[in-house]
Chain A
């Protein structure tokens, strides 16, 4: 073991303000930083989030600024992290738990689904559990097993949880602050394949867009492509290509999987008559199936073609060398667009 010396971190980092070009990861960092600064009861908990700053450096610098009692390096036990966060919430604290990778959330599945999701209901509203669980999810980063999964539908199936996922740095900055303020438990799925992509973030904008509404990220007239998290960028690229070929695609970013903003999706599909849902998670029993069912119920006489799904296959997440054949690509989205138009 070596001893190193380094300059002490400043007690308070300089205030960041204005519109800045930030990576997706940095936008979350600054959203968390603002949440910590705004409310002394906010805590961050997780494995390696302190000195290391998290394996993706999303909590970089926050322990130095807010101290080890508020940015807590926990034992290596996911159920323990979520379970103690529940107890802390019962005492008035608001914990933001980091699950290191999607595939490691399952030891906490019981605490999340039988305890976190149900305590408000079980107590007839007497207890609230404002706990946020941050989950880096999705593939495309060339990782080994259990590091590239998309388990969001497993949680969206459980009443009592809010499931949200940002698709851009600006969205991430705002949504993480809203998640921390929510009195309900929130699973915050972060598209880790997008962590290094940059975007403009207005650091002064109030975080008040709500965690329950989809948004139209690109207007179009021929086909509605519904995406969320990592696939929003994929859908936008597909829309660019389609536009060059004369097809106008409207892209809907769901933002939330629970609640599902059916109204925004349905309004779009009534206009276009065609709908394609894109996600990295397997299509079988997935979010796409839910969207397809609801669109069919609400837009039956407007549909020109069946709702199509583009997503993962009914296989375990494959090895990294072939993961791009598994993930929904621009080409696969365009293939679905062609099939929809040809119907």
Chain B
């Protein structure tokens, strides 16, 4: 076989799909059973979640343009992969996200404005991971996949897998992108997860772009094809199909919780927006490509399906519009009201126990600050 016969990492071959591009339900012998219990109301909830997260994206992007946020990374286009997989999680499961998993955060019950404290520059992670089983965002690409694997090794040691008790058996999911698969840490995480049979699901959103670099710069083969080399079963899913994303994640979570070890999921999707608000995709990709994927918008697909089922009444859509408007208002007012931390707060929580160097530097800093006539740290203090 010549290398030209090898399918590249952008092939759409072998993607699990339950809704086709036109929003038609297509049967799948393996995964139909995993979505059979999803009634119209649940599907509408998924649709609602996708719409709300997109509205959040829009509001946050606008706030960045207004100078209210230092930076923002949109989830635009990846809502189905995130909402579908997020809906498969149980309350006791634990998520280790990268930094674009706003949709997953929403399914875990976080107030999305908590995510924006990081992007506004007032803290590095404004929520307690214990509250929703949702770890802090990690900006060093791929580092958190090892934390997820270690956490899963702890779950194993706690005996919280394979008990058969659905409220006790626990899975861990880590989200990362196509670029991250080149990182040593991700490969080490796959090694540690495999040899320990750790209850962790590797959820790779292949959005085809690592800032400006296409997935072809990361791999010669589909990313999911790598996992079996580690001894980890893998699946490629159409990441713009919320039903299929839910189904493959549910299967992987059940495997993990039952003691069957890790799974690698490649959700093939598209980053419809820029990498972040600092990025300019027009420098490296074509309008034609963006237009191609705009026609494959994951929200449109579920909407079409629900319309075909006659399950998207106007009353629901009107209510959702109002809810999205309310969310937008909540995001705007909450972000604008977020205060500036006191300068001396930089010395807090460096260590869990007192550290004489930090203490003495803080003492010096506070004395220096108070040596000025106007020693308040409120608005207008900008030394």
Within the complex, which residue of A77, A83, A120, A261 is in contact with B150, where a contact is CB–CB below 8 Å?
A83
A84 to B147, alpha carbons, bound, how many Å?
Answer: 5
Tier of interface size on chain B? 35 or more
A125-136 contact mask (Cβ, 8 Å, vs B): 1 or 0: 111100000000
Q: Are A162 and B150 in contact (CB under 8 A)?
A: no
Within the complex, which residue of B151, B184, B351 is in contact with A120, where a contact is CB–CB below 8 Å?
B351
Q: Are A124 and B356 in contact (CB under 8 A)?
A: no
Within the complex, which residue of B129, B184, B195, B352 is in contact with A75, where a contact is CB–CB below 8 Å?
B195
B132-147 contact mask (Cβ, 8 Å, vs A): 1 or 0: 0001101010010111
Q: Are B351 and A114 in contact (CB under 8 A)?
A: no
Q: Are B143 and A84 in contact (CB under 8 A)?
A: no
Give the residues in chain A near B192, CB-CB below 8 Å: 74-75, 77, 80, 84
Tier of interface size on chain A? 35 or more
Q: Contacts A90-B135, A182-B353: A79 and B146 contacting too (C-beta < 8 A)?
A: yes
Q: Are A83 and B152 in contact (CB under 8 A)?
A: no
Q: Which residue of A lies closest to B191 (CB)?
A: A75
B344 to chain A, nearest CB (A): 14
Q: Are A126 and B154 in contact (CB under 8 A)?
A: no
Give the residues in chain A near B149, CB-CB below 8 Å: 83-84, 87
B73-87 contact mask (Cβ, 8 Å, vs A): 1 or 0: 000000000000000
Give the residues in chain A near B155, CB-CB below 8 Å: 91
Q: Contacts A74-B192, A93-B154: A107 and B146 contacting too (C-beta < 8 A)?
A: no
Chain B CB within 8 A of A260 CB = yes
Q: Are B195 and A69 in contact (CB under 8 A)?
A: no
Give the residues in chain B near A261, CB-CB below 8 Å: 356
Q: Are A115 and B147 in contact (CB under 8 A)?
A: yes
> Which B332-383 residues have C-beta < 8 A from chain A?
348-353, 355-358
> Which A64-120 residues have C-beta < 8 A from chain B?
69, 74-75, 77, 79-80, 82-93, 107, 110-111, 114-115, 118-120
A125 to B188, alpha carbons, bound, how many Å?
Answer: 28
A342 to chain B, nearest CB (A): 33
Chain B CB within 8 A of A323 CB = no
Chain A CB within 8 A of B157 CB = yes
Q: Which residue of B lies closest to A74 (CB)?
A: B192
Chain B CB within 8 A of A321 CB = no
Q: Which 4 A-B pairs have the closest CB atoms?
A: A87-B150, A83-B146, A91-B154, A84-B150
Interface residues of chain A, those whose CB is within 8 Å of chain B, are: 69, 74-75, 77, 79-80, 82-93, 107, 110-111, 114-115, 118-128, 159-160, 162, 182-184, 212, 258-263
